[in-house]
Amino acid sequence: MRKALVKFLWGTFATVVSLVFVSFVAIWNGWIGYMPDIEDLHNPISRYASQVYSADGKLIGTYSMNRENRIHVSYENLSPYLIKALVATEDERFYEHSGIDFIALGRAIVKRGLLGQVSAGGGSTITQQLAKQLYSHTAESTTERLLQKPIEWVIAIKLERYYTKEEIITMYLNYFDFLHNAVGIKNASNVYFSKDPKNLTLDEAATLVGLCKNPSFFNPVRYPERCRERRNVVLGQMLKAGYISSAEYNANAAQELALNFHRTDHKDGVAAYFREFLRQYMMAKKPELSKYPSWNRAQYSIDSVAWETDPLYGWCNKNTKKNGEPYNVYTDGLKIFTTIDSRMQRYAEEAVRRHVGGFLQPEFTKENRTKTNAPFTTALKPQEVKAILERSMRQSDRYRVMRQQGASEEEIKAAFNKPTEMTVFTYHGDIDTVMSPMDSIRYVKSFLRAGFMSMDPRTGAVKAYVGGIDFDHFKYDMVTQGRRQVGSTIKPFLYALSMANGMSPCDKVRNAPRRFGDWCPRNSSHARYGQMVTLKWALSMSNNWVSADLMSKINPQDFLRILRDFGINTYGIYPSIVLCLGPNEASLSEMVSAYTTFANHGIHTSPMFVSKIED
């Protein structure tokens, strides 16, 4: 009987060992559960935010997919306190095992599994936790979680084979989500303490490592006292491991939680319009005429030329990674070094807001008080104003969503005329109010728009780029998207062509009106009427009569050609004599670029937005 019992026990043991071995082999080879391939293990964190730097070395923004805005930090740029705190708290035998700590595992099985001591701690190593973060989805039950564990053990062993201990710690800290859109240790250090990881103090490092247990439960913003207690637990573990002295523990444990918290958003910081332009510019695909509406064929012409002549336009789709895939600014961790000077950019944004919001807008609002159809000109008929508002309604997201949901035109119009709660822009800050969506369209149109761009005429480096007054509320970019009539700013190009054809600034023409067919230009000033005046004087006075006279002596096609040479897109412009008064449209960036020709001794310079891109 005794021999039979011994045989049974040994047989049971052998069976269990055999099953464990077979299961291990099956998991290792991916026959049971998910097992990442070698390529995936060699590049486990595939998504890093791209960083945008100014010419003076400031980080002015990032591009990231959803909330995964992690930025890679090397081991050398981590505070030693971070590493010691993480090892002491999460895996005290980290440097002694190969992915699985059997001592901690056995303790967890006995104390938590058999004795039910929830506070006894887990048996997962840092490597296992990394495997869980990288490859395990959130379990819906305890059973599913128990089945995930063996897979994570195998993945942890494989990670230990491919990476050093330092690389595993670096991946862990770079991957972890510390809450409040602070994904990765670099963002966490910035969000909670406005520092780089290498500059974190002992108590700051302990605070962040304390979040690794449960960032929501120990949220330092919502539960500061709970987070402080967890920080002190981390400090106690560091003391126990011999990483800090009793004096250091006592001094830091007594401190209150000292945060320098600020939320991060891709719209925060300087140059929001520029960063959005740059993202679209780099991610652009080869233009296809069928994807452009008939009213925007000029943009197709601009984009087609940019695709062929500008390496930056569509850079992500013109260049490929080692695996042959195109780059993606959201996930490939690019470092984009721009020509923007952060100081000039800040001054430019302040100047635009101060001039438009502090001077022009109040005058415009004052003028609108006497208009019956404000903010539109009194020259428009009521039905024309109604058509403008309804066109804006059809271009709104609210309209598109309601159409997709099957709402009729009458139902949509009724919804747009029904008052609702909303937040609207003012120069004194956003305010909550109640108005109908249609009234909100009229309200938004009551704000003046403006653009600003500064560039070096010799190099083309764009130093400042302000696309509007507030990116949150007015995303239409007045530097590159907005096209407006250029008016008299076109006249220097007409005079330049006249000089190229043999005239000089001192040549004289009669300052008097002339009729050209059915057209006779008007002039705002009658100074020196009927006299012979020099071209220099005429240009300084922006004289329309002299401009028309010069235009009558040249071929309008030649004028369009020189406009193109100056960098102005002329798609769809009809060549006629009236071009001398600038009825055509151009973007601010085109006009700034065109005017560099005069400052650069006749050599045109195209705008340069980026000086270097690093993978």
Copy the structure tokens of residue 562: 């020189």
- pLDDT value of residue 134: 77
- pLDDT value of residue 9: 65
CA dihedral 214, 220, 222, 224 (to 10 degrees): 120
Beta bridge partners of 511: none
Element at 534 (helix H, strand E): strand 532-534
Would you call 151 exposed, middle or buried from its count of C-beta atoms within 10 A (0-12, 13-18, 19+)? buried
- Whether 90 contacts 129, CB under 8 Å: yes
Beta bridge partners of 438: none
Work out whether strand 335-338 and strand 50-53 pair parallel, antiparallel, or are unpaired.
parallel
Average confidence (pLDDT) over 443-447: 94
Average confidence (pLDDT) over 55-67: 82
Would the pLDDT of 519 be above 70?
A: yes
Dihedral (CA of 92, 94, 100, 103) sign: negative
Residues with Cβ within 8 Å of 434's Cβ and at least 6 positions away in sequence, in order, are: 419, 420, 421, 422
- pLDDT value of residue 284: 94
- pLDDT value of residue 312: 96
State the Cα–Cα distance between residues 301 and 289, nearest whole angstrom.
9
149 dihedral zone (left: phi>0; alpha: psi -120 to 50; beta) = alpha
Would the pLDDT of 415 be above 90?
A: yes
Query: How confident is residue 457, by pLDDT bands cut at 50, 70 and 90?
Result: very high
Average confidence (pLDDT) over 560-573: 92
Average confidence (pLDDT) over 572-577: 91
Beta bridge partners of 608: 461
Query: How confident is residue 182, by pLDDT bands cut at 50, 70 and 90?
Result: confident
Percent of the chain surpassing pLDDT 90: 61
- pLDDT value of residue 179: 86
Question: What is the chain's alpha carbon radius of gyration, rounded to the nearest angstrom?
Answer: 34
- pLDDT value of residue 370: 86
Beta bridge partners of 464: 454
- pLDDT value of residue 243: 95
Average confidence (pLDDT) over 54-71: 80
Would the pLDDT of 429 be above 80?
A: yes
Least confident interval from 24-38, 132-146, 155-169? 24-38
Query: How confident is residue 572, by pLDDT bands cut at 50, 70 and 90?
Result: confident
Average confidence (pLDDT) over 479-494: 95
Average confidence (pLDDT) over 308-322: 94
- pLDDT value of residue 19: 60
State the Cα–Cα distance between residues 143 and 145, nearest whole angstrom.
5
Would the pLDDT of 468 be above 90?
A: yes
Q: How many C-beta atoms surround the C-beta of residue 399 within 10 A?
A: 20
Highest-scoring range by mean pLDDT, 187-191, 301-305, 453-457, 600-604: 453-457
- Whether 471 contacts 267, CB under 8 Å: yes
- pLDDT value of residue 435: 94
Going from the C-alpha of 117 to that of each of 92, 127, 139, the distances in angstroms are 20, 24, 22
Per residue in 326-380, pLDDT (tens digit) is: 999 988 889 999 999 999 999 999 999 999 999 999 999 999 888 888 899 888 9
- pLDDT value of residue 100: 80
State the Cα–Cα distance between residues 304 and 282, nearest whole angstrom.
14
- pLDDT value of residue 387: 93
Percent of the chain surpassing pLDDT 70: 85
- pLDDT value of residue 416: 94
State the Cα–Cα distance between residues 90 and 357, nearest whole angstrom.
53
Average confidence (pLDDT) over 172-182: 87
Closest CA to 135 of 216, 46, 68: 46
507 dihedral zone (left: phi>0; alpha: psi -120 to 50; beta) = beta
Q: How many C-beta atoms surround the C-beta of residue 278 within 10 A?
A: 23
- Whether 364 contacts 374, CB under 8 Å: no
- Whether 264 contacts 182, CB under 8 Å: yes
Residue with token string 């269990």: 16
Query: How confident is residue 269, by pLDDT bands cut at 50, 70 and 90?
Result: confident
- pLDDT value of residue 6: 64
Q: What is the pTM of this model?
A: 0.72
Per residue in 4-59, pLDDT (tens digit) is: 666 666 666 666 665 655 555 555 555 455 555 555 555 665 567 888 999 999 98
Q: What is the mean pLDDT of the chain?
A: 87
